Amino acid sequence: MQVKPCGEYQTNCYIYKDIIIDPGVGATSWVSKIVTSPKAILLTHGHFDHVWSVAELQKKYKIPVYIHKNDKFMLSEDIFNVGVPKAKADILIDKDETILIDDIEVSFKHFPGHTPGCMTIEIDEYMFSGDFIFNGSIGRVDFPYSSPSDMKKSFDKFLKINYDKIVLPGHGDKTTIKKEQNNIKNFWYDRI
């Protein structure tokens, strides 16, 4: 597992088993040092600080980009007007599903709220949570296209997960599913 906080917002870009997750601002040079033949780019959601280097990496490596269908528009529309390079999704995730990328089992779970297509990505003992949940915190729901009511429904769904994994968020330090279930129940649930 490799991680590098990228850009002004220190967005965590991860590389695991030659899969790139959330390549933010300036991720390309780091990715190029870590992996020679990446298999895919997986995006937890479409915000610019998580997708900034997608177009550059797509061009360099000719690999597929996966994103939830509800966030696809964020790859081609600069919703925050920050000059994010436009990219194209190759594979749209529609619902909770598990797929194989080569021989790697990847599970996507849809948790809208922070964005319409926010999702977690599970590979082995890891859950890459993007900006859905952090260590002791949750994703903001006051951005364009965010939804507090969707976030509450996502909390309900997340609280039903009956296993534990290491959670690797889009910003900050790692945590666990069980720890964040407790944080949501005891603190965040009634503050949305």
Give the pLDDT confidence of 9-52 residue by residue, as tens digits. 999 999 999 999 999 999 999 999 999 999 999 999 999 999 99
Architecture field, domain 2-191:
4-Layer Sandwich (3.60)
The upper half-sphere exposure of residue 69, i.e. CA atoms within 13 Å in the direction of its Cβ, equals: 6
What pLDDT was estimated at residue 94? 95
- pLDDT value at residue 147: 98
> Which residue would you say has higher pLDDT here, 68 or 190?
68
The domain segmentation of the chain, as residue ranges, is: 2-191
Residue 149's pLDDT band (boundaries 50, 70, 90)?
very high
Question: How much is the pLDDT for 33?
Answer: 96
Paired strand residues for 166:
126, 176
Q: Which residues contact 33 (CB under 8 A, 6 or more apart)?
A: none
Give residue 11's pLDDT. Answer: 98
* Whether the predicted pLDDT of 192 surpasses 90: no
* Rounded average pLDDT over 94-100: 96
Grade residue 191 by pLDDT with cuts at 50, 70 and 90: confident
What pLDDT, on the 0 to 100 scale, is given for residue 83?
A: 95
Note the pLDDT tens digit of each residue in 60-87. Answer: 999 999 999 999 999 999 999 999 999 9
Nearest to 192 by CA among 130, 149, 134: 149
Query: Which residue bears the tokens 């696809």?
Result: 72
Is the pTM above the cut of 0.85?
Answer: yes
Distance CA 1, CA 90 (A): 25
Q: How much is the pLDDT for 37?
A: 95
Q: What is the pLDDT of residue 21?
A: 98
The residue type at 8? E
- Rounded mean pLDDT of the chain? 97
**In the predicted structure, residue 145 carries a pLDDT above the cut 90:** yes
